Amino acid sequence: MTKRSLWRLTVTLLICGMCAYFFIPFAKVRLGLDLQGGVHFELEVQGQEALEADLRDTRDRLQDRFQEKGFPDAVMKIDQNVLKAEGVPADQRPAVEKILQPFYGYDVAFTPTGFSLTQKPAYQKALKDDANKRALQIIENRINQFGVAEPEITSTGTEGNRIVVELPGVGDAERERIKGLLTTPGRLEQRLVAKPDVTNGRGFPTKEAALTYFKGQLPKNTELLPEPMSDRDLRAQGKDPAARKPGEEEPVKTWVLVEEKVYVDGADINKADPSVDPTTDMPQINYTLNHKGADDFATLSGIAADENRLIAIVLDRKIVSTLSCREKILGGSVRITGHFTKADTEDFALKLKSGAMRASMKFLEERAMGPSLGADSIHSGVRAALIGFVTIIGFMVFYYKWSGVNAIVALTVNIIVMLGLMGSFHAVITLPGIAGFALTIGMAVDANILIFERIREEIGNGKSIPGAIQTGFDKVFWTIVDSHVTQLFAAMLLFIFGTGPVKGFAVTLTVGVCASLFTSIYISRFIYDWILERHPGIKSLSV
């Protein structure tokens, strides 16, 4: 064997060894959802809620600014996605315009007694885009902190407002809990409960009862929020907490009147952890606030202590706990107690740590697959690939004689390289991926067939064996390259615009095309060159 052939053999064995490292043992191979079992969710970001949240934030900020700038009678309220201000004299318009300068995302329309703010279309688009990006990031954080191994989370849709979540290995017991983590925004707010003399020191069983009590109109700058029943409350009524169906509304214990102003929100939280109250042995949540949040909470707790009022802890517009304060609380360390289960506190803390979405999520699709069905799919897919491989071997040996063995060797190296590339890229093998794997085996042989037919043609034209091999490879080289590049572009388009199983097929097809291009040109040519070295005067070729 010449040095050139020895070098090419060494390179081939080295490539095969490196590729084998990435998939042997086969436990290294990552299986997709349809093979391993698990759940598939497709969710949609409710962008309108991001617009509404921005309106509420703007209302609170404007209310504070107008109070600071000497407009005590100014009242901000939201009416059908328009922020309206009343109690602002018309002759104060220059001062009002100066206050409104930072709110560049709104169109302003003045009235004799105030003004109205409407979100600009470009600003609304920016808010929705931000909500989409934040939702994707927060879902990734929550899933990673929950501990699901190798999740697939991708953004899709023309507006980027749809998120596909695939969680291999997740069973029915964890599915509903994960759904709750995915769909709730995790927006924490701390507000003041309305003064006791306003509500007569009580909550209300229904919204209608509250409106009746207030004669059809809630007090200025307040709103009603529900306090859901805890598991303990349900058991006290003889109900089973686990009997509630997925998607069913939580039963409400009471409706509480709270002020609209948010003193502290989830953006001010540095750390959140579940714990256990050493006195009562009940689960609780501890969290710490940043400097701004600590100052705001000190102000909030000071008002609550001075006026003998409660602080409402609001999560996703539901009251999860109420706190009483005897004095101003400094330092920004907060503890929330209540009738929580251990899972409640873990999920609560996880939502706070991962951050708050600007909008909730709506489920568009949910699929679940058990591991036994995935195992059947693996067996069926592998069996089909093996049958195809054996059939190709039989055809190539029957039709192309010993040259067919050349193609089989190249095909074997092709399979090793494919598996190695997929392992090195940490690609996930799905059921369509197995189909793509079987397809690329056939396409890889197609390149060898082009080479063999061209060599046959050149031998028929009277060329010597070495000349026929050289000419055959030279003349089909660009044909093979063009066909493989075309397939590669098709695979890339499938990967870019496809989702889930389609992407799995595209990944396998891409890897197969690259491996096939290498083996059909390099490996097949090396085998022929090695034969010519061993038999320099060869007069015939089995092809």
DSSP state of 72: T
Q: Which of 187, 189, 192, 225 is nearest to 300 (CA)?
A: 192
Amino acid (1-letter code) at residue 99? I
Segment 132-142 mean pLDDT: 82
Q: Tell me what pLDDT residue 360 has.
A: 82
pLDDT in tens, 291-313: 888 888 888 889 988 988 888 88
For the chain, what percent of residues have pLDDT higher than 70? 90
pLDDT in tens, 86-115: 888 878 888 888 888 888 889 998 888 888
Asked if 222 and 75 touch (Cβ cutoff 8 Å), the reply is no
Strands 82-86, 361-369: parallel, antiparallel or unpaired by DSSP?
unpaired
pLDDT value at 26 more than 70: no
C-alpha–C-alpha distance, residues 4 and 23, integer Å: 29
C-alpha–C-alpha distance, residues 48 and 124, integer Å: 9
| Domains of the chain by start residue, with CATH | 3-37+372-534 (1.20.1640.10), 50-122 (3.90.1070), 184-367 (3.30.1360.200)
C-alpha–C-alpha distance, residues 479 and 62, integer Å: 68
Question: Per the structure block, which two tokens stand in for 209?
Answer: 């009862």
Q: What H or E segment, with its residue span, contains residue 245?
A: none
pLDDT value at 447 more than 70: yes
pLDDT in tens, 361-394: 888 888 777 665 566 767 777 788 788 888 888 8
DSSP state of 193: B
pLDDT value at 118 more than 90: yes
Helix (H, G, I), strand (E, B) or coil at 487: helix
Q: Tell me what pLDDT residue 142 has.
A: 75
- The tokens 């930072």 sit on which residue? 102
pLDDT in tens, 217-276: 888 888 899 988 876 777 777 777 666 665 567 788 889 899 888 888 877 777 777 888
Q: What H or E segment, with its residue span, contains residue 386?
A: helix 371-424
Among positive and negative, which fits the CA dihedral 491, 496, 502, 506?
positive
Backbone dihedral angles phi then psi of residue 222, each to the nearest 5 degrees = -135, 165
Asked if 259 and 63 touch (Cβ cutoff 8 Å), the reply is no
Q: List Cβ neighbours of 94 (8 Å cut-off, separation of 6 or more).
A: none
Amino acid (1-letter code) at residue 152? E
Q: Tell me what pLDDT residue 122 has.
A: 92
Q: How confident is the model at residue 120 (pLDDT cuts 50, 70, 90)?
A: very high
Q: Tell me what pLDDT residue 483 has.
A: 85
What residues are paired with 449 via a beta bridge? none
pLDDT value at 178 more than 70: yes
Q: Tell me what pLDDT residue 80 has.
A: 84
Question: Per the structure block, which two tokens stand in for 255?
Answer: 């409706």
DSSP state of 248: P
Question: Per the structure block, which two tokens stand in for 278?
Answer: 């050493």
pLDDT value at 352 more than 70: no
Helix (H, G, I), strand (E, B) or coil at 254: strand
Asked if 272 and 308 touch (Cβ cutoff 8 Å), the reply is no
What residues are paired with 155 via a beta bridge? 163
Q: What H or E segment, with its residue span, contains residue 195?
A: none
Output Rg (C-alpha) for the chain, integer angstroms.
34
- Three-state DSSP string of 341-372: CHHHHHHHHHHHHHCCCCCCEEEEEEEEECHH
Q: Where are the alpha helices (DSSP H) in 184-285?
A: 196-199, 207-213, 231-236
When mean pLDDT is compared across 275-279, 347-351, 416-420, the lowest value belongs to 347-351
Q: Tell me what pLDDT residue 456 has.
A: 87
Phi-psi region of 286 (alpha: psi -120 to 50; beta: other; left: phi over 0): beta
Q: Tell me what pLDDT residue 183 has.
A: 73
Q: Tell me what pLDDT residue 62 has.
A: 87
pTM: 0.56
C-alpha–C-alpha distance, residues 173 and 524, integer Å: 53
- The tokens 């890889």 sit on which residue? 444
When mean pLDDT is compared across 27-31, 411-415, 506-510, the lowest value belongs to 27-31
Q: List Cβ neighbours of 3 (8 Å cut-off, separation of 6 or more).
A: none
When mean pLDDT is compared across 59-68, 167-176, 359-368, 486-495, the lowest value belongs to 167-176
Q: How confident is the model at residue 173 (pLDDT cuts 50, 70, 90)?
A: low
Distance of CA 168 to the CA centre of its chain: 14
Q: Tell me what pLDDT residue 536 has.
A: 78
pLDDT value at 200 more than 70: no
Backbone dihedral angles phi then psi of residue 374, each to the nearest 5 degrees = -65, -40
Q: Tell me what pLDDT residue 374 has.
A: 60
Note every long-range contact of 229-234, with CB atoms under 8 Å and residues 24 or more positions apart, other chains counting: 229/253, 230/338, 230/339, 230/340, 231/339, 231/341, 232/339, 233/339
C-alpha–C-alpha distance, residues 131 and 44, integer Å: 11
- The tokens 């202590």 sit on which residue? 305
Q: What H or E segment, with its residue span, contains residue 324?
A: strand 318-324
Distance of CA 332 to the CA centre of its chain: 32
- Three-state DSSP string of 468-483: HHHHHHHHHHHHHHHH
Q: Which of 418, 378, 429 is nearest to 22 (CA)?
A: 418
Q: Tell me what pLDDT residue 67 has.
A: 84
Distance, first Cα to last Cα, the chain: 23
Q: Which of 241, 269, 424 is nearest to 339 (CA)?
A: 241
CB 254: neighbour CB atoms within 10 A? 16
- Best-predicted range by mean pLDDT among 122-131, 140-149, 158-167, 316-325? 122-131
